[in-house]
């Protein structure tokens, strides 16, 4: 390793989140590796809320790029082109980095060659009063359960809100800019790299805290976004993606009225148990209901999407 070698470039796309990104930048000022070993690149994807002024005030030495609103995939690609670090660490602008986040990401790439890394995503303690947030921290909504220890992950568990990939890999395999919304662009990249033999690994100690209230209402919005902007486009681009194709075929065979009835019954049961969820036995039952509700909502949204495609969305990120 050369003395002044740039080890990591933190790439952060953002759109109208000036308060949230301020917290993230403060946390990146306090990492366990030398500030000379990493750089921070913020790509402002057409914000109109004064993001630039806030960013310059907090961390004046960072690299700030501004572009017309083209989506997070295009924003990340611009950051990758500008980056000098050997490893690109991706964070979303509503995250707060743990003090050793960059050090832990770099350790994973030292131990493994052909990998992409998913960090540990947690909810801020203030949101733990919400039982659904506690459930969401133990799983990856619509993608699968998270492991407890470090190890290899399924490609569907890769999320760029806390992740890292070597820069030379990304220069050859950029994000697909046809994904305009904050959904699907990370999974599509993960699937492409998976097919090329890359392993997706979990870095348990690379912790970032998600500053987001996440309840059933937000969950339903996320399901709709995932189906329309991630699952269906990936199926179209990659007909060989049998896992998602199987879900689509299953949804086609389901009766919409029966799905709605299942959702209604499950939500009523959840409403009762949420009042008692601090008890361990009740918590297990409640989390099982959340898991079932996740599937039913996904099938409902998918069934609707197949009948009414191209639903418009506009999310901050």
Strands (E), 199-244: 199-210
Rounded to the nearest 10 degrees, what angle do helices 216-226 and 131-138 cross at? 40
Per-residue pLDDT tens for 139-186? Answer: 665 555 556 667 889 898 899 999 999 999 999 999 999 999 998 999
Residue range 204-219: average pLDDT? 88
What is the average pLDDT value for the chain, to the nearest integer?
A: 88
**Cα 83-86-88 angle, rounded to 5 deg:** 60
Q: At what angle do helices 242-252 and 280-307 cross, to 10 degrees?
A: 80
Q: Is CATH 3.40.50.300 correct for 8-210?
A: no
What's the pLDDT score for residue 125? Answer: 82
To the question of pTM greater than 0.85 for the whole model, the response is yes
Least confident of 39-43, 138-142, 267-271, 291-295: 138-142
Q: Are 295 and 262 in contact (CB under 8 A)?
A: no
- Count of CA atoms in the C-beta half-sphere (13 A) of 238: 21
Burial 42-78, CB ≥16 within 10 A → b, else e = bbbbebeeebeebbeebbeebbebeeeebbbbbbbbb
The confidence score (pLDDT) of residue 303 equals 86
Domain boundaries, the chain: 8-210, 216-307
- In percent, the amount of the chain with pLDDT more than 70 equals 90
Does 36 have pLDDT greater than 80? yes
Q: Give the β-pairing of 87-91 and 8-14.
A: parallel
Distance (Å, whole) CA 157 – CA 119 = 10
3-class DSSP assignment, residue 22: helix
Residue 44 CA to its chain's centroid (Å): 18
Count CB atoms within 10 A of the CB of residue 312: 6
Round to whole Å and give the CA distance between 190 and 200.
Answer: 8
Q: How many CA atoms lie within 13 A of 266 on its CB side?
A: 20
Tokens of 8: 């990591």
Percent of the chain residues topping a pLDDT of 90: 54
Find the largest Cα–Cα distance for the chain: 64
Q: What is the pLDDT of residue 60?
A: 62
pLDDT of residue 15: 95
């Amino acid at each position: 390793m050369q003395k002044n070698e740039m080890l990591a470039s933190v790439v952060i796309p953002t759109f109208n989140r000036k308060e949230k990104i301020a917290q993230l930048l403060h946390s990146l000022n306090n990492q366990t590796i030398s500030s000379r070993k990493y750089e921070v690149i913020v790509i402002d994807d057409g914000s109109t809320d004064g993001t630039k002024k806030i960013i310059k005030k907090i961390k004046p030495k960072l690299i700030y790029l501004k572009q017309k609103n083209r989506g997070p995939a295009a924003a990340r690609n611009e950051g990758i082109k500008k980056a000098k670090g050997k490893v690109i660490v991706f964070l979303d602008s509503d995250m707060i980095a743990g003090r050793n986040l960059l050090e832990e990401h770099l350790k994973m790439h030292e131990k493994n060659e052909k990998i992409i890394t998913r960090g540990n995503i947690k909810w801020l303690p203030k949101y733990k009063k919400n039982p659904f947030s506690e459930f969401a921290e133990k799983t990856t909504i619509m993608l699968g359960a998270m492991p407890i220890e470090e190890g290899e992950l399924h490609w569907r568990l890769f999320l760029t809100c806390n992740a890292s990939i070597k820069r030379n890999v990304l220069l050859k395999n950029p994000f697909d800019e046809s994904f305009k919304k904050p959904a699907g662009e990370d999974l599509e990249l993960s699937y492409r790299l998976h097919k090329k033999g890359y392993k997706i690994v979990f870095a348990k100690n690379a912790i970032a805290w998600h500053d987001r209230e996440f309840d059933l209402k937000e969950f339903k919005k996320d399901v709709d976004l995932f189906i329309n902007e991630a699952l269906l486009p990936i199926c179209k681009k990659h007909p060989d993606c049998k896992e998602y194709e199987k879900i689509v075929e299953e949804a086609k065979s389901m009766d919409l009225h029966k799905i709605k009835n299942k959702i209604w019954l499950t939500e009523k049961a959840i409403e009762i148990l949420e009042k008692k969820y601090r008890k361990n036995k009740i918590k297990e039952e409640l989390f099982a209901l959340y898991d079932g509700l996740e599937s039913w909502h996904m099938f409902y949204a998918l069934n609707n999407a197949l009948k009414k495609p191209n639903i418009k969305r506009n999310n901050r990120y």
